Amino acid sequence: MAFELPQLEYAYDALEPHIDARTMEIHHTKHHATYTANLNGAVEGTELEGQSIETILANISKHSVAVRNNGGGFYNHNLFWTVMSPNGGGKPSGELASAIDKAFGSFDALKETFNKAAATRFGSGWAWLVKQADGTLAVTSSANQDNPLMDIADVKGTPILGLDVWEHAYYLHYQNKRPDYIGAFWNVVNWDEVTRRFKV
Amino acid sequence: MSFELPKLPYALNALEPVISQKTLEFHYGKHHQAYVNNLNNLIKGTEFENADLDTIVKKSEGGIFNNGAQVWNHTFYFMSFKPNGGGEPKGALAEAINSTFGSFDKFKEEFSAAAATVFGSGWAWLVKNDAGALSIVKESNAGNPLRDGLTPILTCDVWEHAYYLDKQNLRPKYIEEFFSILDWDVVSARY
């Protein structure tokens, strides 16, 4: 079965003023759609056809550059849309809040670490909050469309929160001011979804 | 030694509609300027404090390399343009392009394909080696062919900040129009 571009659970303008409608629409209907189509093209007729995206990414060192770039682009944007919500923001609670305090000292310290990872990723890429194999949390960043599920990642684990810092994610609204975009992101983080991913 | 943002030989609106004034205000006025400022701050108290930019590009690593090479790359890129540019190269560069790629159109096709397929942020380059032979190379992020002993002749910036305000996701359209603002006199002189 071919990979499908997911629908968003909110309107393109629902994250304004933090992320503008035009950016959301182009990001979803052009960039994400292209990764999805190119991933399908890259796996069609190969042994990867029918594998889950998670399985493909876990063995990415064995696959082509096209599968790496487009598979990562497909997965990363799928995650990105779900960890944002017009009703987002605030702070996590419960087990996730405890795990954050344990790993970083406080929620504010997590934000600081995550913001730095996102701001200092040179060129295109992503910042991640990752649940590692031993259950502890870590912050990392990856270049281009790589992610922590890939067997080539510096910090491996299950991404539970991701922030796209490709310029296409923010340039129409924030231009060179990436730190402003990163700061605004916290207003739309869907902690229910991040918590769900943490508990899986 | 302190580096400075070079003056552009044209007005910020002179490359419209290919590159808008707004794009140049950010790309030149903010990004290029930030690379200059960062470089000046980073080299203080290091072995590169009094180095020239070519040396920094060839020898440094990490933040000094990223900012130094981005200063070099952007200056090289911005100096390749003029209003009402375009056309084709003449003289020795034209001959070298014809003998290497078959024709100017074939060169454009190969250079455009290289620029379109840099994944993520980066640059496409036309370079020559010590023997004068031309080739096309792709570099990620701040990458610069000087580090491989090659001499840059032409470059196209395919970081999204170079075209996103004007063309959004349509990078191929930006690359196609890029050829219409090139100053081939400047580019040919580099060969």
Residue of chain A nearest B27, judged by CA positions: A176
Any B CB within 8 A of A141 CB: no
Out of A30, A34, A123, name the one closest to residue B121 (CB): A123
B-chain CB neighbours of A172 within 8 Å are 164-165, 168
CB contact under 8 A, B30 and A176: yes
Any A CB within 8 A of B104 CB: no
- From CA B126, how far away is CA B111, in angstroms rounded? 7
Q: Helix and strand tally (H, E) in chain A?
A: 9, 3
CB contact under 8 A, B165 and A168: no
Residues in chain A predicted with pLDDT less than 50, given as ranges, are none
Farthest CA pair distance, chain B = 50
Burial class (CB in 10 A: 0-12, 13-18, 19+), A68: buried
- From CA B49, how far away is CA B56, in angstroms rounded? 9
Judged against a pLDDT cut of 80, whether residue B111 lies above it is answered with yes
pLDDT tens track for B6-34: 999 999 999 999 999 999 999 999 999 99
- From CA A193, how far away is CA B33, in angstroms rounded? 40
CA distances from B82 to A97, B97, B127 (A): 56, 21, 21
Q: Residue A28's pLDDT is what?
A: 98
In what side-by-side order are the strands of the sheet with A158-164?
Answer: A137-143, A125-131, A158-164
Any B CB within 8 A of A172 CB: yes
Any B CB within 8 A of A20 CB: no
| Apex B61 CA angle, B58 and B62, nearest 5 | 145
Reported confidence tier of residue B134, pLDDT bands at 50, 70, 90: very high
Nearest to A58, CA basis, from A130, A149, A163: A149
A-chain CB neighbours of B140 within 8 Å are 123
Interface test with B, best of A35, A166, A175 (most B CBs within 10 A): A175
The DSSP bridge pattern shows strands B122-128 and B151-157 to be antiparallel
pLDDT tens track for B86-106: 999 989 999 999 999 999 999
Hey, what are B107's tokens? Answer: 């060169």
Give residues 58 to 97 of B whose Cβ lies within 8 Å of A: 66
* ipTM summary value: 0.96
Q: Is the dihedral angle over the CA atoms A133, A139, A143, A146 positive or is it negative?
A: positive
How high is the mean pLDDT of chain B? 97
Any A CB within 8 A of B116 CB: no
- From CA A139, how far away is CA A104, in angstroms rounded? 9
- From CA A145, how far away is CA A151, in angstroms rounded? 14
CB contact under 8 A, B168 and A124: no
Helix (H) or strand (E) holding A172: helix A171-174
- From CA A122, how far away is CA A104, in angstroms rounded? 24
Any B CB within 8 A of A120 CB: no
Q: Residue A30's pLDDT is what?
A: 98
Beta strands in B86-180 (DSSP E): 122-128, 134-140, 151-157
- Say which amino acid occupies A73: G
Out of A30, A123, A172, name the one closest to residue B120 (CB): A123
pLDDT tens track for B64-92: 999 999 999 999 999 999 999 999 998 99
Beta strands in chain A (DSSP E): 125-131, 137-143, 158-164
**Shortest alpha-carbon distance between residue B148 and chain A (Å):** 21
Reported confidence tier of residue B1, pLDDT bands at 50, 70, 90: low
- From CA B189, how far away is CA B151, in angstroms rounded? 12
Q: Helix and strand tally (H, E) in chain B?
A: 9, 3
pLDDT mean over B107-116:
98
